[in-house]
Structure 1
Amino acid sequence: MSMAGNLRKVTGLDKVSGLRKVARLARRHTRVDLSHPARSPLGSAVVNCVAYQDGARVPGGRDLVDTVERVRKQDDGFVWLGLHEPTDQEFAGIADLFDLHPLAVEDAVEAHQRPKLEAYGETLFAVFKTVCYVEHKELTATSEVVNTGEIMVFVGADFVITVRHGRHGSLGPLREELEADPRQLSKGPATVLHAIADHVVDDYVNVTDSAQADIDQVEADVFAENGARADAGRIYQLKRELLELKRAVVPLARPVQELATRPIRVIDPEIQAYFRDVSDHLLRVTEQIAAFDELLNSILQAHLAQVTVSQNEDMRKITAWAALIAVPTMVCGVYGMNFEHMPELGWTFGYPLVLGVIATACLVLYRGFRRSGWL
């Protein structure tokens, strides 16, 4: 029986028919950018399906099954299938065709996974958290700074399947960059995996650089002349967004380190050297995020200290003015008791004298408070 017959036997005629339909759609839209909110302009989860041989794109066959059959018959090249938020039904036939493990398929469909690297037989499954910086005119206590998504990658001896979740992180430009370098692409599916990892980590670098501008602005506002009036909510919001970025970056260190050092059958040793470079960039981002976290903690503590100092200054001013008001209040309270025998009640200059004593006492207190910095 031919390989085409074997594939049809494994997948079932109904699944093959469905795969033929989505493959034909993918061939008509060879370069699709999914950065907009829509799931896919193809009307399905399939974004692209292309075969490569010696690093060059092979003209599309009639459908996905034929493309896989041709690659496996020639025993050279590989197939790159791109998906965007597939459903269980859309992924079922593909999972059977490429003999993907059910646990990996479940993770790819459900998403919301931590970055990880798993080996299922001859297939490698990697999860990457993608991030993008959300542009905003002014940082507020509710501003979104970091938006996250996911890319799952299945890597086999003759195929790469990428499953993307989220509205950003389109792999269309990355595919074009790889196709512009046939020599690198000819090294096999591991090249695509490295390119995706490098692309994701480069986005981490860009996001941290952009986030630093927000942190610098908050720092400048806190240490400005009226820093105590700065909105502490902005600092908490930055910390929350930084935590979201940290959840994407930090767990990826171990998978990338394994790709760079651990012998893996589908990863050529020559490609592992490139993963070491990705690991270095990831380490830089991780250290930068840790530094941002410490800096934001310091900024928050400084802001709280400024608020405390400002409140103390307000209390001293209130106390000083209360002391000044207490002098005339006390004198007026004594003379307001209306006793018959009180000093200076019958004296012509008694009233002006009392006013002079009150004014003198208040002036002395005022100068004393001014000298001590309370007013």
Structure 2
Amino acid sequence: MPTDQREPSLPRCADMVDLFAGPGGLDVAARWLGLDVYGFEWDRNACATRGAAGLNDRPHDVRHFGPQDVPGAWILAGGPPCQTFTVAGSGAGRKALDEVLDFVDRMGANDNVSEDLAGLEDERTGLVLEPLRWALEAYHRGDPYKVIVLEQVPAVLPIWKRMGSVLEGIGYRVTAEVLRTEQFGAPQTRRRAILIARLRSEPELPTATHRPYRKGVDRADGDATLLPWETMGAALNRGYDFQVISNYGTGGDPKVRGRRSSWQPSATVTGKVSRNQIVDSTGFPCPRFSLAEAGRLQTFPIDYPWSGSDVAQQIGNAIPPVLALHVLSAALGSQVSHEEAVKVVDRPWTDTRDSAPLDHLQRMGLLFS
């Protein structure tokens, strides 16, 4: 378990609290924007990566903490575990959707649901409610968060919308929709349910910079005001054309493996990304994705210091930092251009981990201070 003695004990001040912070997808984007972040993460392996990346790395269970533990934070962000909601997972969260929505309503009515959460089939399902608990506790303490940003798999969108109704009841204005990562410059197709809430001011989702990927459609086709989607080949620069053969079945047939070419974006990067086969244009086997390459498809810096065990799972669980960059910036009232995003995504982490290359807060005049 990481025990970095340089890290101060709680409480400490920060601009942003990141619940279920993982190896640092949201934290990386926040650092690019000049935000000081405190991330809550319990997984030892993810904490090892966080420590190597210069992020706080002491394991925490968010259920044992609250807003009072990070005084001064004005942004609440988080991406709760998705395993029970994702199609590839157990499905326990999807089956309990109505029950979870009822918990949201009860929490909005100041009902303590903690004991009832224990009755869920999988305790990870109830973790999706933690950001709402933090938001409500901050409100009742008289120091509500000014901005809230949440992300999860698309199946969680109904929960985000119901949470949005509760947040609107205490003064927030909320928007929640599913965004596609390739429309924000990620060389990967991935869909995420995003919630942005702002206290007493209208939020906007980020504006797409790239065209959506469509199977069988040329990347040059589509809306001329948007850029073509990014490709695996350009992101990884292997120097040759290749095809990726998925570890998963497709079209309902487990024996039929999906394929993506290097001139296409990657399929969703998961914890099993290293199992995907790669062949060249003649069908000859090529090296499988390295961990650094898998991280790059997620838009982490190429030198991001992945550490600990089960790194592929860490990578697959994370939100792509480039999407997080666009979402956080939009939540702060600013839109990031593709040129600005490339500026930071293509820079080594060693050059940006202790600086703010975009410094949106200064440019916006600290609107939320």
TM class by shorter chain equals under 0.3
The structure with the greater share of residues assigned to helix is 1
Structure 1 length normalisation: TM-score? Answer: 0.24
Which one has more relative contact order, counting CA pairs under 8 Å at least 6 apart?
A: 2
